[in-house]
Amino acid sequence: MNNSIDESKALAGSLAVQNKEESRVDILVAPPFTSLFAVREAIRNSPIQLGAQNMYHEPKGAFTGEVSPTMLKEAGSSYVIIGHSERRQYFGETNSSVNRKIMATFQYGLQTIFCVGETLEQREAGQTFQVVKEQVWEGLTGVSDKEMWAVTIAYEPVWAIGTGKTATPEQAEEVHRFIRNLIKEMYGDATADSIRILYGGSVNAKNARELLGKSEIDGALVGGTSLKVDDFNEIIRQGIEVS
C-alpha cells in the first residue's frame, strides 16, 4: 500500500523508459488498484507487464470493497498476486480461499503469481516443508495440467518480509527445490521444469545477484526495494547477468 497515482505513474514510466528494449528477462509491476489504469498508460509500448496485488474470486456482486477479476482485466492487468503472506496474516486468507481465487484466474484469463511460505515460528519448529507442502497442494486443488502454464509460484518466507532478514541463497534454493519436486509429483517433469518459482523476502540490490544465481530460483518478487527505480533497475541488471 504505497505510492499515489502520480508516484506510481512516475515510477513505472521511468522503469519503462530505461527498459524499453529489454527482452532478456520478464519485468512486471503490481501497483495499488487505484493506480492500475495510470500505470498501464505509463508502460504502454514497453515490454513491462502489469499485475494486481489481489482480487476476489467472483466477477461481480454484493462484495463491498472487493475488486473482481473482470475489473482487473479492464484496467489492463494480465497477472494477479494471490495468497501473499500479508493477505494471509492480516486479512484471514486461507489455503481454501486462495484456491478459489486461483481457479477464478483461469476463468477470466489472468495469470497467477501464487505465494507460499512459512512464518518464523513454523521454521523454528521444523515445519517449513510441511507448511509449504500444504499450501501448494491445497492452493492448487483442481488445477489441471493445462492450466499450470498460467501459474508462477513465489516462495516468500514470512520471517524475511519487511524485517530486513533474508533467507540465505542456500535456504531459499532448498525450499525452491522442494516446491519443484512437489510440482513434479503433481504434474510431471515437463511442468516442473517449465514453471517459474520466484523468491520473495527482502530482495534488494545487494543480495539479488547471489539469490538469482541459484539454479532453482527463477526470479524475484520484490517488495520495498521496487519503490526506488534505481534499485529496481539494479535488480533487473543483476537478473540479466546471471540468467
Q: What sign does the dihedral 228-101-45-39 (CA atoms) show?
A: negative
Strand partners, 115: 154
Phi and psi dihedrals of 199, rounded to 5? -105, 130
Neighbours of 125 (CB within 10 A): 12
Neighbours of 57 (CB within 10 A): 20
Task: Give catalytic residues, as residue numbers.
Answer: 84, 156
Cβ pair 6, 14 in contact under 8 A: no
Q: Cα–Cα distance between 190 and 145 in angstroms, integer?
A: 10
